[in-house]
Amino acid sequence: MCPPVCVPVQDQRAVSAAPSRDHRPGDPERHAPPGASAESHGHQQAAVAGSAGPAEEQFRSPVQDEGHAGRWVTSSSTPLMTMILLFSITSSSFLCFSKMKGSDNQEKLVYQVIEDAGNKGIWSRDIRFKSNLPLTEVNKILKNLESKKLIKAVKSVAASKKKVYMLYNLQPDRSVTGGAWYSDQDFESEFVEVLNQQCFKFLQSKAEAAIDSKQSPMVQRNSSFATSHEVWKYICELGISKVDLSMDDIETILNTLIYDGKVEMSVIAAKEGTAGSVDGQMKLYRGVNAVIQPTGLVRTPCGLCPVFEDCHDGGEISPSHCVYMAEWLDF
In DSSP notation, 134-203 reads: -HHHHHHHHHHHHHTTSEEEEEETTEEEEEEEEETTPPPPHHHH-GGGEETTEE-HHHHHHHHHHHHHHH
Buried-state track 109-136, b at ≥16 Cβ within 10 A, e below 16:
bbbebbbebeeebbebeebbebbebeee
Buried-state track 171-180, b at ≥16 Cβ within 10 A, e below 16:
ebbbebbbbb
Residues 261/290, Cβ–Cβ less than 8 Å: yes
Residue 245 carries which DSSP code?
A: -
Buried-state track 242-253, b at ≥16 Cβ within 10 A, e below 16:
eeebebebbbbb
Of how many residues is the chain composed?
Answer: 331
Q: Which residues contact 130 (CB under 8 A, 6 or more apart)?
A: 113, 122
pLDDT in tens, 112-155: 999 998 888 898 888 989 988 888 888 899 998 988 888 898 88
Q: How far is CA 99 from CA 23, 92, 107, 124, 148, in A?
A: 38, 11, 11, 22, 7
CATH 1.20.120.80 fits domain 103-177: no
Domain 103-177 identical in fold to domain 187-287: yes
Residues 304/276, Cβ–Cβ less than 8 Å: no
Single pTM value for the model: 0.49
- pLDDT score for 196: 92
Sign of CA dihedral 109, 111, 116, 122: positive
Residue 302 carries which DSSP code?
A: H
Per-residue pLDDT tens listing for the chain (331 residues) = 444 444 444 444 444 444 444 444 444 444 444 444 444 444 444 444 444 444 444 444 444 444 444 444 444 444 555 454 444 444 444 445 556 665 678 888 899 999 998 888 898 888 989 988 888 888 899 998 988 888 898 888 777 678 889 998 888 887 787 777 777 767 778 888 999 999 999 999 998 888 888 788 888 888 889 998 899 999 999 888 888 888 888 999 999 999 888 898 888 877 776 776 677 778 889 888 766 666 666 667 787 787 888 888 888 888 888 888 877 777 5
The residues with which 283 forms a beta bridge, in sequence order, are 267
- pLDDT score for 38: 44
CATH 3.40.50 fits domain 187-287: no
Q: Which residues contact 206 (CB under 8 A, 6 or more apart)?
A: 223, 224, 225, 226, 286, 287
- pLDDT score for 100: 64
